[in-house]
Structure 1
Amino acid sequence: MTTVRPVFYVSDGTGITAETIGHSLLTQFTGFSFITDRLSFIDDPEKAAEACDRIRAAGERYNVRPIVVNSCVDQSLSVILADSGALMLDVFAPFIEPLERELSSPRLAKVGQAHGMVDFETYHRRINAMNFALSHDDGIAVNYDDADVILVAVSRAGKTPTCIYLALHYGVRAANYPLTDEDLEGENLPPRLRNYRRKLFGLTIDPDRLHQIRQERRPNSRYANLETCRREVTVAERLFQKERIPTLSTTHTSIEEISSKVLATLGLQRGMY
Structure 2
Amino acid sequence: MTAGQGSAPVDAINAAGVRAAYFVSDSTGVTAETLGNALLVNFPGIRFRRHTIPFVDTPEGARAVVGDIDRDAAAGLAPLVFTTVKQAPLRDILASANAVTIDLLAGHLTELEEALGTTASEQLGQYHGVTDTERYFDRMRAIEFAIEHDDGQSSRALDKADVVIVAPSRCGKTPTTMYLAMQYGLLVANYPLTDDDFPADGLPRAIARYARRCFGLTSTPLRLSQVRHERRPSSRYASLEQCTLELRRAESLYRRSGVPFLNSATKSVEEMSAVIMQTMKLRA
Question: What's the TM-score once normalised by structure 1's chain length?
Answer: 0.89
Does the Cα contact within 8 Å between 1:9 and 1:18 map onto a contact in 2?
Answer: yes
Aligned residue in 1 for 2:91: 78
* Alignment partner of 1:123 out of 120, 136, 139: 136
Structure 2 CA distance for aligned equivalents of residues 42 and 210 of structure 1: 42
Question: What secondary structure sits across from 1:10 in the alignment?
Answer: strand
Does the Cα contact within 8 Å between 1:3 and 1:31 map onto a contact in 2?
Answer: no
When the two chains are superposed, the root-mean-square deviation of aligned CA atoms in Å is 2.3
Question: What secondary structure sits across from 1:253 in the alignment?
Answer: coil
- Give yes or no for the alignment of 1:95 onto 2:108: yes
Does the Cα contact within 8 Å between 1:117 and 1:123 map onto a contact in 2?
Answer: no
Q: 1:9 to 1:220 in 2, by over 3 A?
A: same
Cα offsets for 1:86-139 (capped at 9, x unmatched)? 222110112110100101111122323324554443333222211111111111
Opposite residue 207 of structure 1, the aligned amino acid is P
Question: What secondary structure sits across from 2:169 in the alignment?
Answer: coil
Task: After TM superposition, list the pairs within 5 Å mapping 1:1-273 onto structure 2.
Answer: 4=13, 5-28=19-42, 34-62=48-76, 66-115=79-128, 118-143=131-156, 144-186=158-200, 188-270=202-284
Does the Cα contact within 8 Å between 2:165 and 2:191 map onto a contact in 1?
Answer: yes
Question: What secondary structure sits across from 2:215 in the alignment?
Answer: strand
Larger RCO, structure (CA 8 Å, separation 6 or more): 2
Question: What secondary structure sits across from 2:62 in the alignment?
Answer: helix
Does the Cα contact within 8 Å between 1:74 and 1:109 map onto a contact in 2?
Answer: yes
Aligned residue in 1 for 2:7: none
Does the Cα contact within 8 Å between 1:184 and 1:232 map onto a contact in 2?
Answer: no
Cα offsets for 1:47-66 (capped at 9, x unmatched)? 2111111111222221x853
Structure 2 CA distance for aligned equivalents of residues 31 and 214 of structure 1: 22
Does the Cα contact within 8 Å between 1:159 and 1:203 map onto a contact in 2?
Answer: yes
Structure 2 CA distance for aligned equivalents of residues 41 and 233 of structure 1: 46
Q: 1:269 to 1:227 in 2, by over 3 A?
A: same
Gaps of 5+ in 1: none
Structure 2 CA distance for aligned equivalents of residues 111 and 20 of structure 1: 18
Cα offsets for 1:249-270 (capped at 9, x unmatched)? 1111111221121111112122
Does the Cα contact within 8 Å between 2:12 and 2:78 map onto a contact in 1?
Answer: no
Question: What secondary structure sits across from 1:198 in the alignment?
Answer: helix
Structure 2 CA distance for aligned equivalents of residues 235 and 2 of structure 1: 47
Opposite residue 185 of structure 1, the aligned amino acid is P
Structure 1 CA distance for aligned equivalents of residues 226 and 45 of structure 2: 24
Residues matched between the structures, number = 269
Structure 2 CA distance for aligned equivalents of residues 228 and 2 of structure 1: 44
Cα offsets for 1:136-173 (capped at 9, x unmatched)? 11111124211111000001111111111111222211
Does the Cα contact within 8 Å between 1:67 and 1:88 map onto a contact in 2?
Answer: yes
Aligned-pair CA distance for 1:44: 2.0
Question: What's the TM-score once normalised by structure 2's chain length?
Answer: 0.86
Question: Larger deviation: 52-61 or 96-105?
Answer: 52-61
Does the Cα contact within 8 Å between 2:202 and 2:208 map onto a contact in 1?
Answer: no
Opposite residue 149 of structure 2, the aligned amino acid is H
Structure 2 CA distance for aligned equivalents of residues 261 and 209 of structure 1: 20
